[in-house]
Amino acid sequence: MVYLIESVVVDVCSPTPTPSARPPIISADPAATAVQFPAPKVSDGSVGKSALTVRLLTRRFIGEYGDIESIYSRSFMVDGREITLNIWDSPYSEVRGHEFKRVQWADGFVLVYSICDRASFNSVSRLIQTIKSIKDYLNVGKVPIVIVGNKRDLHHRRTVQSEEGRLLALTTDCHFYEVSAAENYHSVLMVFHGLVDRMKDSKSATKRPLGFKGIVKSMSAVFARRRIDSL
Ligand SMILES: Nc1nc2c(ncn2[C@@H]2O[C@H](COP(=O)(O)OP(=O)(O)OP(=O)(O)O)[C@@H](O)[C@H]2O)c(=O)[nH]1
């Protein structure tokens, strides 16, 4: 699942949520992952969540987007296996009071701000804390989060420097991209691929405990390495 927030949030893999916690999903594929785009806003919104989603799905930038809440599905081949992302794009007003449910639903997050809108950037750290606290409460390990500074083409109106986004990502253990949904499809694709990679990493990091055989194997590997080191 991918969840887009005022900053864009993308979520790719999720633990199976309870039916009541999960919004309707378009894809009929049971192996599908869901992508949500909610927008908790402090700014005037309109950071480009819909534009990013539509770019990803159609390769096009159409300029104006309605504020109808939608869940989109898109399939990707990852390591030779098809996965389906469900992307939830909801207008900001719809998001308030539903953060817990949506964070619970999503497996990965794309937090989107506009480089011309300082308030939207300021809301990103708050969102990261909110997401991490909810996932902690739910006992979920590492949360895949990608921070996206959108509207890069409007550099003459920039109020948030790239370094600020990069630093925030570094200090919060997130990935960072600056893109223009208006000008570039490939950078948008990179965002979603980056999220999927992080989701894969966090899934393998929370894999089941080793078990007796696994422990013996790991210990043998460590001792074998020591023997090699001492040669
Ligand atoms: N110049 C420029 N304009 C953009 C870009 N992305 C989106 N926009 C414009 O910004 C406005 C808002 O885009 P949306 O995609 O509707 O933003 P949103 O975050 O989904 O907005 P809400 O649904 O209101 O939360 C539209 O007029 C878009 O054409 C971009 O990369 N560059």
pLDDT-derived band at 42, boundaries 50, 70, 90: very low
CATH architecture of the domain with residue range 7-16+39-203: 3-Layer(aba) Sandwich (3.40)
pLDDT exceeds 80 at position 109: yes
Q: How many angstroms separate the alpha carbon of residue 162 from the centre of ligand 1?
A: 19
CA of 79 to the centre of ligand 1 (A): 32
What residues line ligand 1, using a CB cutoff of 6 Å? 39, 45-51, 63-65, 67, 91-92, 150-151, 153-154, 180-182
The pTM (predicted TM-score) of the whole model is 0.76
Distance in Å, CA 31 to ligand 1 centroid = 31
- Ligand 1 atom 18, closest CA: 46
Per-chain mean pLDDT for the chain: 75
What is the number of the ligand 1 atom nearest to the C-alpha of 39? 25
> Looking at the predicted structure, is the pLDDT value of residue 38 above 50?
no
Instruction: Give yes or no for residue 34 having a pLDDT over 50.
Output: no
**C-alpha of residue 226 to centroid of ligand 1, in Å:** 56
95/80: higher pLDDT = 80
CB 69 within 8 A of CB 23: no
Give the position, in ligand 1's atom list, of the atom nearest the Cα of 37.
20
List, for residues 55-73, the tens digit of each pLDDT value.
Answer: 999 999 988 887 777 788 8
Give the model confidence (pLDDT) of 153-177 as tens digits. Answer: 999 999 999 999 999 999 999 999 9
**pLDDT for the residue 179:** 98
**pLDDT tens digit string along 20-29?**
333 333 333 4
- Report CA(69)–ligand 1 centroid distance (Å): 15
